[in-house]
Amino acid sequence: MTQNEFLAALAGIAGAAHVLTGESDTAPYTTDWRKQFRGGAVGVVRPASSGEVAAIVRLCAGAGIAVVPQGGNTGLCGGSVPTGECPELVLSLSRMNRIRELDALNNTLTAEAGCVLAQVQLAAANADRLFALSLGAEGSCQIGGNLSTNAGGVNVLRYGNAREQVLGLEVVLPDGRLWNGLRALRKDNTGYDLKQLFVGAEGTLGVITAAVLRLHPRPTASAIAWIGVANPRHAIELLGRLREACGERLSAFELLSRTCIDAVIAHRPQVRDPLPGSAWSVLARLGDSGTDEALHASLEQALENCGVDAVIAKNESEANALWAIRETVPVAQFANVKHDISVAVSRIPEFIERAETALQAVAPRLPIFCFGHAGDGNLHYNVGDAALAPRRDEVNRIVYDVVDALGGSISAEHGLGQLKRGEIQRHKTALELELMRALKKALDPQGLMNPGKLI
């Protein structure tokens, strides 16, 4: 089959208007959000249904064309763009954006892979329910990508990451067969939990086309506090005390270094520092039934018992202003060497101390921007500025060696993609890599699903 014949067959499946081949048309799909990865592609196709996805994947399997599934293309590791190392077709799922069903009594919502995360959150809210997955890119990232990378975000402390939000999946397999596993069951003990093979697989085992998502009762009250702490050790001690006092009502516990706050203020001078004297800050959120007043009183009492300086948001506007500081941190220090790591919560202070000591030994006065989801052990540990890029491998090795020594992970919620595909070979055992490759070979013997990513 010639390339022209292949493209004509694609047009016959998805419609000519949804097959893109011109460079200006395909550029947004072949370049990642941070513009670190760029690869050529045979084209971009935008199917409108699971049936079209299945037909496209079958066509690619027959023609030996690799498939690169893509959602909102907001990833940070180059997992959703082609490598350019073989003939590849970008499969954009953005047109598959229907909420198929919402069952409020069963607390489930069935969404297609192209649904933007914020759209799913809104649909749940309109039914007086909560879809708990929440992250900075929620206005543009899509459910298929969230599940393919096992996304985390700010609510993992209480609700778990993307893996915990899924009850069922619909997946197109590498040979084009469509597996309908859209079961809205909380108990199904009938063999292997197949859906979990595809969550976190970054599109290397198949294409997620729809999912049954878990909903929760929507909290009627919330309380937000910005808390000053002397150091990360005090922050983790505070986390333990707040969990004892507030239990499962504590849904978010974000840690921010002083360098992060200063970067936000430099980036947006209109931002007001909530606690100018704090060396480190914590942004905590409680959610519950009942009234805001009662929850605020509970949080205020807990913080008073902990003996910390804190600012409690009095209304939604103040709460949004505090969260805006946290949400601005990634863009306020955009061009540097970034890490998305996790360690046991109890070992966060040790990681921060050891990593900084190791980095300062080779590059004194190197600025470090440390922030993230301390409640679940996930830190975004970003180092230096754009000038440090030539030493990226050296910096990565230093940080990852500390992570390894503490039994942590070099990817907590962003996935591996192209960025960490080689590095993971140092951090997985030979047996783990063998099992991963065996799964890949069993499901995708031609190696056509998102090649050059993850393994």
**Per-residue pLDDT tens digits for 134-167:** 998 999 999 999 999 999 999 999 999 999 999 9
Are the C-beta atoms of residues 220 and 291 closer than 8 Å to each other?
Answer: yes
Cβ partners under 8 Å of residue 375, min gap 6? 156, 157, 239, 250, 252, 253, 254, 345
Residue 326: pLDDT over 90: yes
Question: Which residue type sits at 349?
Answer: P
**Cα 14 from Cα 50, distance rounded (Å):** 11
Are the C-beta atoms of residues 359 and 382 closer than 8 Å to each other?
Answer: no
Residue 442: pLDDT over 90: yes
Are the C-beta atoms of residues 137 and 122 closer than 8 Å to each other?
Answer: no
**Cα 450 from Cα 453, distance rounded (Å):** 6
* SS3 call for 90: strand
> How much is the pLDDT for 335?
84
The chain-wide mean pLDDT, for the chain, equals: 96
User: Once rounded to an integer, what is the mean pLDDT over residues 237-252?
Assistant: 96
For the record, the structure tokens of 152 come out as 């985390």
**Cα 328 from Cα 308, distance rounded (Å):** 25
User: Once rounded to an integer, what is the mean pLDDT over residues 364-371?
Assistant: 93
> How much is the pLDDT for 354?
98
**Cα 271 from Cα 77, distance rounded (Å):** 30
Are the C-beta atoms of residues 117 and 127 closer than 8 Å to each other?
Answer: no
**254-304 per-position pLDDT tens digit:** 999 999 999 999 999 999 999 998 999 999 999 999 999 999 999 999 999
CATH 3.30.70.2740 fits 340-414+424-430, yes or no: yes
DSSP letters of 367-406?
-EEEEEEGGGTEEEEEES-GGGGGGHHHHHHHHHHHHHHT
Residue 103: pLDDT over 90: yes
CA separation (Å) from 305 to 83, 99, 233, 308, 392?
54, 45, 18, 8, 44
The radius of gyration of the chain from alpha carbons, rounded to an integer in Å, stands at 23
Are the C-beta atoms of residues 86 and 186 closer than 8 Å to each other?
Answer: no
> How much is the pLDDT for 386?
85
pLDDT range class, residue 26, cuts 50, 70, 90: very high
Architecture per CATH, domain 99-217, reads as: 2-Layer Sandwich (3.30)
User: Once rounded to an integer, what is the mean pLDDT over residues 193-222?
Assistant: 97
Establish whether domains 221-330 and 340-414+424-430 are of one fold: yes
Residues facing 179 on adjacent strands: 171
Are the C-beta atoms of residues 27 and 41 closer than 8 Å to each other?
Answer: no
User: Once rounded to an integer, what is the mean pLDDT over residues 12-22?
Assistant: 97
Residue 64: pLDDT over 90: yes
pLDDT range class, residue 365, cuts 50, 70, 90: confident
> In 168-291, which residue ranges form alpha helices assigned H by DSSP?
195-198, 232-246, 258-267
Are the C-beta atoms of residues 29 and 91 closer than 8 Å to each other?
Answer: no
DSSP count for the chain of H helices, then E strands: 14, 18
Residue 234: pLDDT over 90: yes
Residue 363: pLDDT over 90: no
Q: If we measure between CA atoms, which residue out of 91, 11, 109, 89 comes closest to residue 50?
A: 91
Q: Is the pTM of this model over 0.75?
A: yes
Residue 217: pLDDT over 90: yes
Residues facing 217 on adjacent strands: 129
Domain ranges for the chain, please list them. Answer: 3-92, 99-217, 221-330, 340-414+424-430
Q: Is 105 exposed, middle or buried (0-12, 13-18, 19+ CB in 10 A)?
A: exposed
pLDDT range class, residue 389, cuts 50, 70, 90: confident
**Cα 201 from Cα 205, distance rounded (Å):** 6
**Cα 398 from Cα 395, distance rounded (Å):** 5
Fold of 3-92: 3.30.43
> How much is the pLDDT for 387?
87
Of how many residues is the chain composed? Answer: 455
What percentage of the chain exceeds 70 in pLDDT? 100
The CATH code belonging to domain 221-330 is: 3.30.70.2190
> How much is the pLDDT for 334?
83
